[in-house]
Structure formats: structure tokens, C-alpha cells
Structure 1
Amino acid sequence: MIARTLDRVDALRMLAGYGAEEDISVRRGSIFRRSRAAVQRVFSSREVKDRLVKLERALELTVVDSRQAEYDSVEADAVQKLLESLQDIPRACMRVGSIFVVKYQAAGESVILVRNLSQMEIRALERFPEIQASPERAFGALATAVDSMDEVRAQNERITLQATSEEA
């Protein structure tokens, strides 16, 4: 396990533009002590900061962006199928997971709006399902519901802080 960890540390050091450790000694509970000390000595240099930015971007591209691209592809396919199923339906307002789809007619044309919802918006739709009764006003009603929930939460936080300060 230690060897695998050291291999990963070496790979990370190489990616950051440094050579492999020359003198590696493994002590129980302290395999990173020497690497951390070496990096801290030169951490203030501009070159190290530039390399860290590049390293962070490389990690984003390989880890986060590839997963996001895969998720986006699956989500786009799901939305496409959902929109195809609504083709002959003039008005609709539905939430599927975190996807909110609204369709209505305006000036003789179909208006289709699709959006990923935040957790707060999902809670608002669960608390106020009547928002979905009018597709033309759904997004406005959703924004109003979220605002009211934010106001209630802020008021509850103020009450809690006031009660806490009075107890102290």
C-alpha cells in the first residue's frame, strides 16, 4: 500500500514538472514529510504557482470534465426523448428528477423551456406542486416560491441567533 502511494506521489511530482524523489525513506506514519518540506521551500516561487494552476486544470480535465461530459450526454439524450414525447401536447409542465420542462403556446408558436433545478427549487416544487398548474407562469411562480423559502429560512436563522445570544 505504501509503495502504491509513493508511486502516485511520484507520478504527481512528475506531472508538476519535478523529478522523482532521490532519497526516499519510509517511516511509520510519515511518508509525505520530505516531499511537503521540499515543496514548501519553493512554494513562493512564481513557477511553482503556475505549475499548480496547470496541474489543477489537468486534474479537472481528466476527472471532473470527463464525468461532466458523460453526464451531460446522458442528460441531453433524456431531454431529447422527453421533448419528443411532448411533440403533440400543446401545454405541459413537469419535473423529472432535477430537470424541469415547460411547454406552452405563445403567438401561435410552441415555447419549450428546459432547465436543471437547484436543490432549493426542487424543494419548492415539492412544497408547492401547484406551481406546475400554469406552464406560462411556472418559472415566475418557482422564483417567488424560492424567494419566500429563503425569507423564511433567513427569518428562522435570525430567531435562532437571537435566542442563542439571549441564552449567552
Structure 2
Amino acid sequence: MALVASDGIGFNDDPEEMFYLFRRYFRDREEFRNEKDFFRFFEHFLYDSRKMGSGLREFVHNLEQRVGETQNDARRQHDLSKERMLSLSDSIDRIEERQNSTNKVLHNYLIYQHLGDVLNSVKLDRFIPVRVYLSDDNEADVRKVSSAIDKLLGAFGFEFSDDFPAEKGSWWKKWFAKSTEVATQPEVTDRLEKIERALELKGLHKPQSEVDKAQAEAIAALTAATKDIPNVAIQAGSILLVKTTDGNSGPCLQVRTLSTKELIYLENNQHLLCKPETVMQSLSHGSSQLELPVTE
């Protein structure tokens, strides 16, 4: 059976062939604003021709439904792309802001570098390395220790500025911390000495009258975070905290300020922190062999 429209278009009984013949003939009609308009026109045409069976009606309905789903998917993809673009734009703005801040810090150092030792007395953004080794990489413990170190730095006037990927197995992590306000080098040294003193008092279970509440809470948080980790080494600038656990005598905590020689030796041999049991002895021995350049 064939269907013949008033314009003389011929269709056979196959609904898909009828549809594509119809579409090819009317594809340039301007009144079809979108695919749905076209499907409705096609459906009405077939109804008017009184030749549309239930199978063809279902075919047209399914086509309309698929087009609707495609349009919805396209809208969702557009919205998602828009969100991603906004997120990317925000990220670029943050990176640019951080880059400008870094450039400012660098330029300040370049301006004052010719001053030599006087540089220590100039108030600048000051940076210290922060390195942590944990013998256990339990995710919950890692989060607690990271949070506790962040809290400790904040309590003594520092904040994380750069974050480097951690190494798994055991846990080995590096950061750079920056003074929250510009400071001289002696002021930075004083803050680090306060951290050392507070850690010593906590380890000796002595009253911490000279430590303010925020600092005491930060020290307590770090102690609690490392409680279940057998071996720990934490460097914050010139301060080194080492916890080791012996099967017979239990945990042992050591905290001290590193000498200039020890700092240089540790900077060149950072892997020593991954052996908390021997790091103190290695530093003492290695730094004793180090010769510092003579300054005039």
C-alpha cells in the first residue's frame, strides 16, 4: 500500500522510510524552529492523510521523546560546561593572586639581598621548611597530624604557603610555611624557640604558664595526633621533634633547636628524617664533619 500526499510525495508502508522521505522533502521549511516542531508537523500530516496506524504513531512518539532527551542532555552539558568554566576562572584568579603575592615577596628579597647580614633585621615575609615523617600512613592519623601541625604553626605566627605531594608506604610530607606577618629573622627564631620550649614542657608534663591557651591547645593536639604512631620526625625550621618507641621502655620524645651546621647538613640529607631512631646521632656526626665558609 502506498500513501500519496497532495503534493504527490509517495511513501511505502515502512514508517522509517516514510519519515525520512518526508523529512528530506520538507527540510527547508522555515516554520520548523526545532526538531519537535518538525515531528508534530509530520504526525499531523499523517493523521490528515488518515493512514497512520498505531505502530507509526508509536514510532513518531518515540522519535519525539528521543529528541527531547537529547535536548535535555545538551542543556545539562551546557550548564555543566558553564559551571566548569566559572570554576576554572576562579582557579585562574586564585593562581594569579598567589603569583602576584609570590612576586612581591621575591622582589622584596631581591631589593634587600645586597644588605648582607642586615637582611636579617629587615621585616619581611619569612619562610621555614616543614617536613614530617610518620612510620604509619594510616589515613586518620595522617589527617590528625596534618591538622595539628597547621594549628601549631598558626598558634606561633606561621601558616602553610606551599604544599608538596606526600610519599606513601610510611608517610613523608613537605610544606613551606610563611610568617603570617612580616618579621625579622630574630623574631622568627624567637617564635621557633617558643615552640621548642612548649614541646619540651609538654613532654616533661610540666605546667605551661608561659604558653598561651592557643599555643597550649596546639601542642596538645600534636601530642594527641602522634600518640598512636610509633616513630615520628617533625622539622619546623630549626626545630626538630623526634618520637621513637622502644618495645621495652616505651615512647621517647626529643625536641631541640638545630645548629647552623646541623641545619645545612639536614637540608642536604633530608632522608635522615625518615629514620627517627638514628636522625639525632646522624645529624651530630654528619654536621661535625661539615666546614662552614669563612665570612669576612
TM bin (shorter chain): 0.3 to 0.5
TM-score (norm 1): 0.43
TM-score (norm 2): 0.26
Higher helix proportion (structure 1 or 2) = 1
User: Bigger radius of gyration, 1 or 2?
Assistant: 2
Relative contact order (C-alpha < 8 Å, sep 6+): which is higher?
A: 2
